[in-house]
A and B are shown apart, each in its own frame.
Chain A
Amino acid sequence: MKVLSAAVLKPAFFWLLSLLLSSLVWFIAVKASNEKDAELQKSLIIFGVMFSVLLQEVFRFAYYKLLRKANEGLAALSEDGKSPLSVQQMAYVAGLGFGIMSGAFSVVNILAGSVGPGTVGIFRDSQYYFLTSAFMTMAIILLHTFWSVLFFDGFENKRWVAVVAVIATHLLVSGLTFLNPVYEGSLIPAFVIMVLMAAWAYFTAGGSLQNLQHFFMCKENK
């Protein structure tokens, strides 16, 4: 358990690397372009977001490969040829690491700003900025966790549908945020997708409706 909790740092580092590279690309693009042109800047940032999403998925794959190797090493050392960590545990931790880092980067500056004096939306921005940021961040963190579970499982069992779905929904959720501040267009679909992913990940990880029932009825699982 302690090992798992410390292991959240490595995926966080990978996510950070992906962010670094995508910011580098965006920065170069911005510096190379005309900074006064607002439309161009807007399209550049959209490009930046999409590129960043794709890069995150690439790094998720890279982390998967790294974990596979490490796991094989551990399995080779163990007495019964099986590694102490299952793929699903690794996927969960990886997703958590990605999600926590992603969430932290999205929200910590906003949190710091929310302490200080000020009025939300005084320049005709939405009043619900903080609230929606909080909800969106929560959705993103959970989504990353579920995406990782599905992603890893997809590669493990060669189910490419899962992998494609993960990438597609990530792009979709990010893309929908372009609709902000029309929060209905971005938050609600994000939460719907999150619930869908949650269910899918739950069944992929081996859960079943029966387990769920037993859990809620506090029955023992036989």
Chain B
Amino acid sequence: MISSDSEDELYTERTALMSANASTAPSYQDRDGAPSPTNVQANRRRSAARRPANPVEGRVGAEGGPASRDGGGEGEEEEEEELILKYGAKHVIMLFVPVTLCMAVVVVTIKSVSFYTEKDGQLIYTPFTEDTDSVGRRLLNSILNTLIMISVIVVMTIILVLLYKYRCYKFIHGWLILSSLLLLFLFTYIYLGEVFKTYNVAMDYPTLILIIWNFGAVGMVCIHWKGPLQLQQAYLIMISALMALVFIKYLPEWSAWVILGAISVYDLIAVLCPKGPLRMLVETAQERNEPIFPALIYSSTMVWLVSMAKRDVDTEEHLSKTCNADNYPEVEVEANNHAVQGLDDVSDMPQTQIQGVHHSAAGGEELEEEKGVKLGLGDFIFYSVLVGKAAAGASGDWNTTLACFIAILIGLCLTLLLLAVFKKALPALPISITFGLVFYFSTDNLVRPFMDTLASHQFYI
């Protein structure tokens, strides 16, 4: 039932690494959430400091500047609500594009490359087969598979948290590097091979080696060190898609759905419970004022940096005065790839970077924007698994895929809204996955026959 031992071991290691990362990843939502109280306060302080200097700032589009509000207790509250709205809208857009891209890549691959829908055995984490005679037995097997998978993930997460707590940074770093090496080289090689097979493209080994070497090397540099933000984002999207494709291929049908459900429950518990491993990870990182594993989070902060061009000298001066006092854990504004930094580096950075970020005319708004939003790669992976499974499913119906896609995006929207309201670590999986699952099953079983009947008669609703 397992294809080959050596391959399996590699996959084992892979999935071991990525599962751990996957489970830690959802917590990275909190990178956005946890530090944001400090940031929001800092922003308010800053805008308060700015207000005397720049009396009334013009509004920019739908997102009104908090600066225009005049003081008083009411002003503070309304300003906060405006921040919420602005955070909500901008962050939603910043995340929609990468999530959509990842899902699109996965769906396109599933629909065209048949390799990923062939049953070639199962992972070692899901040892029970689903090829049984009775429905009850199949259900039991899938539940057992889920239990094993989730316990592996829990164990990996706890190991990761312990390693982080006892400052075994080199070990974690090495682990992450090994994991991305495998993804960027081996999985890309397999993926390319299958794509070439599908389209009957003749390729020689030297060219292939050249392509994969370049792709992988640049990827390693971009993800673990420095690189242009958009390239880094593209690589993160690609490795999420590759990982999702592996999951789609090797997880049997029912197990996949039960695992998706179970992992959203786990995510909820791990991030929100006081003793949850992910929450502890986040809190530890916060205490030490370090960024958590940039290789595992998708960040969109730099986008605003690139789009700003004008300089506002007044705001800058005020900013530099108030900024120094603030200690931003999130100073990944620049390259995001400072894997683990000592406190010294972090305190050096705020000055230059924040000044760089706040080149803009409209002052207030950009202060919040510099924060951007972060989403863990595990979230990308599981969203894509859901949509991919919907696309790969027995019926291969596009309506189901579309419905799941919309459901996930709306769930993400709601999660970001909650994030702006609660301003703390939030799991990104539960709402989206719940919506996705509900819509998958209802669309596949209810809407599909309805739409098929309509289409056959060419009725329109």
A148 interfacial by beta-carbon distance below 8 Å: no
Contacts of B62 in A (CB 8 A): 3, 74, 84-85
Q: How far is the CA of A137 from the CA of B227 in the complex (A)?
A: 45
B368 interfacial by beta-carbon distance below 8 Å: no
B454 near A49 (CB under 8 angstroms)?
yes
From 1 to 58 in chain A, residues with beta carbon under 8 angstroms from any chain B beta carbon are 1-3, 5-6, 9-10, 12-13, 16, 19-20, 22-24, 26-27, 30, 45, 48-49, 52-53, 56
B199 interfacial by beta-carbon distance below 8 Å: no
B402 near A105 (CB under 8 angstroms)?
yes
Contacts of A177 in B (CB 8 A): 458-460
Q: How far is the CA of A132 from the CA of B406 in the complex (A)?
A: 27
Stretch at the interface among A107-115, A153-161, A191-199, A213-221: A107-115
B406 near A12 (CB under 8 angstroms)?
yes
B461 near A56 (CB under 8 angstroms)?
yes
- How many A-B contacts are there with CB distance less than 8 Å? 121
Q: How far is the CA of A45 from the CA of B63 in the complex (A)?
A: 46
Q: How far is the CA of A106 from the CA of B82 in the complex (A)?
A: 39
A77 near B447 (CB under 8 angstroms)?
no
Stretch at the interface among B21-29, B252-260, B438-446: B438-446
B450 interfacial by beta-carbon distance below 8 Å: yes
A112 near B459 (CB under 8 angstroms)?
no
Q: How far is the CA of A78 from the CA of B409 in the complex (A)?
A: 28
Q: How far is the CA of A78 from the CA of B86 in the complex (A)?
A: 12
A24 near B446 (CB under 8 angstroms)?
yes
B457 near A108 (CB under 8 angstroms)?
no
A112 near B457 (CB under 8 angstroms)?
no
Q: How far is the CA of A112 from the CA of B64 in the complex (A)?
A: 44
Tell me how far the C-beta of B403 lies from the nearest C-beta in chain A, rounded to whole angstroms: 6
A136 interfacial by beta-carbon distance below 8 Å: yes
Tell me how far the C-beta of A210 lies from the nearest C-beta in chain B, rounded to whole angstroms: 29
A77 near B409 (CB under 8 angstroms)?
no
B93 near A178 (CB under 8 angstroms)?
no
Chain B residue, CB-CB nearest to A106? B460
Q: How far is the CA of A110 from the CA of B460 in the complex (A)?
A: 13
Set A10, A53, A129, A132: member contacting B461, Cβ < 8 A: A53
From 162 to 213 in chain A, residues with beta carbon under 8 angstroms from any chain B beta carbon are 173-174, 177-178, 180-181
Set A27, A48, A129: member contacting B458, Cβ < 8 A: A129
Q: How far is the CA of A101 from the CA of B397 in the complex (A)?
A: 15
Given A23-B446, A27-B446, is A77 in contact with B64 using a C-beta cutoff of 8 Å? yes
1/0 contact string of A66-109 vs chain B (CB within 8 Å): 00000000100111000011000000000000000110111011
B457 near A3 (CB under 8 angstroms)?
no
Contacts of A52 in B (CB 8 A): 461
Contacts of B81 in A (CB 8 A): 77
B85 interfacial by beta-carbon distance below 8 Å: yes
A48 near B450 (CB under 8 angstroms)?
yes
B397 near A109 (CB under 8 angstroms)?
yes
Set A109, A132, A178: member contacting B399, Cβ < 8 A: A109
A149 interfacial by beta-carbon distance below 8 Å: no
Q: How far is the CA of A79 from the CA of B57 in the complex (A)?
A: 12
Q: How far is the CA of A173 from the CA of B458 in the complex (A)?
A: 13
1/0 contact string of B80-97 vs chain A (CB within 8 Å): 011001000100110010
Given A3-B89, A106-B460, A180-B457, is A20 in contact with B64 using a C-beta cutoff of 8 Å? no
B410 interfacial by beta-carbon distance below 8 Å: yes
B399 near A108 (CB under 8 angstroms)?
yes
Tell me how far the C-beta of B321 lies from the nearest C-beta in chain A, rounded to whole angstroms: 27
A20 near B406 (CB under 8 angstroms)?
no
Tell me how far the C-beta of B306 lies from the nearest C-beta in chain A, rounded to whole angstroms: 15
Q: How far is the CA of A133 from the CA of B458 in the complex (A)?
A: 8
Q: How far is the CA of A108 from the CA of B455 in the complex (A)?
A: 11
Which B residues fall within an 8 A CB radius of A? 59, 61-64, 68-69, 78, 81-82, 85, 89, 92-93, 96, 397-399, 402-403, 406-407, 409-410, 413, 439, 442-443, 445-447, 449-455, 457-461
**Leading 8 A-B pairs by shortest Cβ distance:** A23-B450, A180-B458, A84-B62, A23-B446, A108-B398, A23-B447, A177-B460, A52-B461
- Residue contacts A-B, CB under 8 angstroms, 21 given: A3-B62, A3-B93, A6-B96, A16-B403, A22-B450, A23-B446, A27-B446, A45-B459, A52-B461, A53-B461, A84-B59, A104-B402, A105-B402, A106-B460, A108-B399, A108-B402, A109-B399, A136-B460, A177-B459, A177-B460, A180-B458
* 8 more A-B residue pairs beyond the given contacts A74-B62, A77-B81, with a C-beta to C-beta distance below 8 A: A9-B409, A23-B449, A77-B64, A79-B69, A136-B458, A136-B460, A177-B460, A178-B459
